[in-house]
Amino acid sequence: MGRPGIQMWTWKLCVLSWMCVGQAVAGPQYMVAIPAILESGAETKFCASLLQPSETLEMSVTLMSQEKNTILLKKSSSKEFHTCTEFKVPLVQDEMVQNFVVEVRGNTFYSKEVRKVKIKVYRPMTFIQTEKPIYLPGQTVHFRVITLDTKLRPVNQLVSDSNSNRIGQWLNETSNSKILQLSYALNSEAREGAYQVTVSIGLDKIQHSFKVEKYVLPKFDLQINASDEVSINREEIKAEVCATYTYGQPVPGSVDFKVCRPLDAYVGIPLVITREHPEGIPEIPMPCYKETKQTDKRGCATFIFTMSTFTKIDQKVLRDVLQLSANMEEEGTGISRSQEKTTVISYVVGKLSFTDTPKIYNKGSNVEGKVSAFGLHFNVILYTVQLKQCAFSGSSTVTVQSPSGQLMFDVNQNNKLLYQEKQLQDVTGKYSLEVKGTACAISLVYNIPTPADVTALSVEVKPEADCTSKRPKLSLNLTSLYSGKESSTNMVILDIKMLSGFVPDPESLNMLKRALLVDRVEQKEDHVLVYIRELPKNIGINHSLKLIQEHQVENLKPAVVKIYDYYQPSDQSDTEYINPCVAGKDL
């Protein structure tokens, strides 16, 4: 095979980054080692070895591309040699694959091997850092620049103000393999805003921003201490707002505290257009709790509010979060600080834990364990324990341990399908269950008594009339009162039914729309609905409405005035009123 006078041999490849070729029989061998990936423009080296030459051989190493062939080594020898040669990798703009060709030739020997090498462009990484993110006008900006590269490169530094005006420049700066440190003194009248440090290396630009503004370090810090998560069944929620000076002392002052449950933005809620709000406000306002308190000697104010404030409205239009916000005003100075916090509403009302149970169950052995409840943020009244058993074989005993004693349930083949129930003497406390036997199933039920119907809303109606007029007029003096736990209510509705034959006086109706705490007034058939924004606790809110008799009605019956919570209409109260003129005749 091959051309006359030239003997062909079989060669093998040893390592990807090494070119190692040897004869299948004894004879000349050579090896060339070079990295598989070369850095563009960098100085690198390769090593070549010639072993067991039988004649004078010439070894040539060439780096070949479509544009240019570069001879890296050309050496003739009749003796073994090992040599390493440095060369400069060609400069390329993008990654490129070239051929690395090794030829060994003599009078009776010839070999050629071609391998591919990748020339890769390594772009330098430059980082800029200022000693702080915000500066006052007139301060000096100190910054550092470091380029993570193996070569020294000229660096063009540029500083621009908030209007992109060049205000400083450093040309042909080099880091000398160190961190480049520079500074710039801001003018005392420097414009406030964002500034940039720009580093230019060739066509690449790296930027770092800082701000110039007239800031004042805060005198005190404000913090809201509240749970990150609360259960929907929790009755009361506690939050503490604390203010401390930077040196640790408490801050005297007043705290305005507000908690709201926001509306879900993805639920379509109708908007109400008013003169004050032409852009429209949601027909259903989000429920909120507000209170103002003075800080105590610790610099803290404690607020306790109920979950029922945020559950009266349809849950589908509300998000499952509470947004807490506090604004603290320092006593004597008027300096204020604000803080916010978000608490997630969870629908987990409690957890049951099985403890002291074996990891492995053996057939025929007794199974013992305990069940305990924890994480319940409300007072659960346990007045019955229900047990339903289905024992497939054998028998079991369930022991319920209460603070005052214990109850036992026996389950066997004769009563395994029976329902068993026993009264517990204790109403609150910690309970545990212990099960012994060969098989059992437990159903534990917590029973919470239904609370009695108690309303905190009431309305009083005092009618006044001119009985001598040909067209009688009736004045209704209404007093709405709230006497619940909260400091105020959310929106309430006063539903005034007209007496038969009477209609509201238009002028009086317009005056009612502008009355104290009235959000809006609607007239629907023979009813007038007054939307009151809120009722303060234990303070009667007075409103009045005049009625005009359009026609006389025989056997006039009383009419009803009802007041109820906008979010929970079941929380309501009502009273009746009658025309005093008719009532006097009846007497």
Give me the pLDDT at residue 378, please: 41
One-letter amino acid of 289: Y
pLDDT over 70 for what percent of the chain? 74
Is 220 contained in some domain? no
220-263 pLDDT, tens digit each? 899 999 999 988 888 889 999 999 988 889 999 999 999 999 88
Whether residue 505 sits in one domain with residue 391: no
How far is residue 384 from each of residues 281, 349, 423, 450, 565, measured CA to CA in Å?
49, 19, 5, 15, 34
Q: Quickly state the pLDDT bin for 24 (edges 50, 70, 90).
A: very low
Secondary structure string (H, E, C) spanning 182-211 = EEEECCCCCCCEEEEEEEEECCEEEEEEEE
Give me the pLDDT at residue 205, please: 81
Whether residue 299 sits in one domain with residue 234: yes
89-135 pLDDT, tens digit each? 988 888 889 999 999 999 989 999 999 999 988 776 778 888 888 88
Is 23 contained in some domain? yes
Whether residue 73 sits in one domain with residue 170: no
Please count the other Cβ atoms lying within 10 Å of the Cβ belonging to residue 276.
5
Is 12 contained in some domain? no
Give me the pLDDT at residue 531, please: 93
Burial 309-323 (b: 16+ CB within 10 A, else e): bbbbbeeeebbeebb
Give me the pLDDT at residue 562, please: 94
Q: How far is Cα 87 from Cα 236, in angstroms, rounded to an integer?
A: 79
Whether residue 427 sits in one domain with residue 400: yes
Q: Quickly state the pLDDT bin for 158 (edges 50, 70, 90).
A: low
**Domain coverage including residue 296:** 228-241+253-346
Give me the pLDDT at residue 427, please: 54
Q: How far is Cα 214 from Cα 137, in angstroms, rounded to an integer?
A: 7
Query: Quick one: tokens of 397?
Result: 């005993």
Task: List the single range of 127-131, 151-155, 165-169, 549-553 with lowest mean pLDDT.
Answer: 151-155
Give me the pLDDT at residue 85, please: 92
Whether residue 375 sits in one domain with residue 337: no
Is 443 contained in some domain? no
Residue 526: HSE in the Cβ half-sphere, 13 Å Cα cutoff: 12
Q: How far is Cα 543 from Cα 481, in angstroms, rounded to an integer?
A: 12
Q: How far is Cα 481 from Cα 538, in angstroms, rounded to an integer?
A: 6
Whether residue 374 sits in one domain with residue 287: no
Identify which has the larger pLDDT, 358 or 21: 358
- The residue out of 437, 468, 500 marking a domain boundary is 437
Radius of gyration for the alpha carbons in the chain, expressed in angstroms and rounded: 45
CATH number at residue 543: 2.60.40.690
Asked if residues 34 and 101 have their Cβ atoms less than 8 Å apart, the reply is: no
Q: How far is Cα 211 from Cα 139, in angstroms, rounded to an integer?
A: 12
Is 139 contained in some domain? yes
* Mean per-residue pLDDT, 44-59: 91
Q: How far is Cα 459 from Cα 576, in angstroms, rounded to an integer?
A: 10
Please report which helix (H) or strand (E) contains residue 584, including its range: helix 580-586
Q: Quickly state the pLDDT bin for 18 (edges 50, 70, 90).
A: very low
Whether residue 82 sits in one domain with residue 56: yes
Is 105 contained in some domain? yes
pLDDT at residue 445 above 70?
Answer: no
Whether residue 558 sits in one domain with residue 468: yes
The bridge status of strand 220-225 relative to strand 321-330 is unpaired
Please count the other Cβ atoms lying within 10 Å of the Cβ belonging to residue 214.
7
Whether residue 146 sits in one domain with residue 98: no
Is 187 contained in some domain? yes
Asked if residues 148 and 66 have their Cβ atoms less than 8 Å apart, the reply is: no
| 472: three-class secondary structure by DSSP | coil
- The residue out of 294, 314, 346 marking a domain boundary is 346
Q: What is the total count of domains within the chain?
A: 5
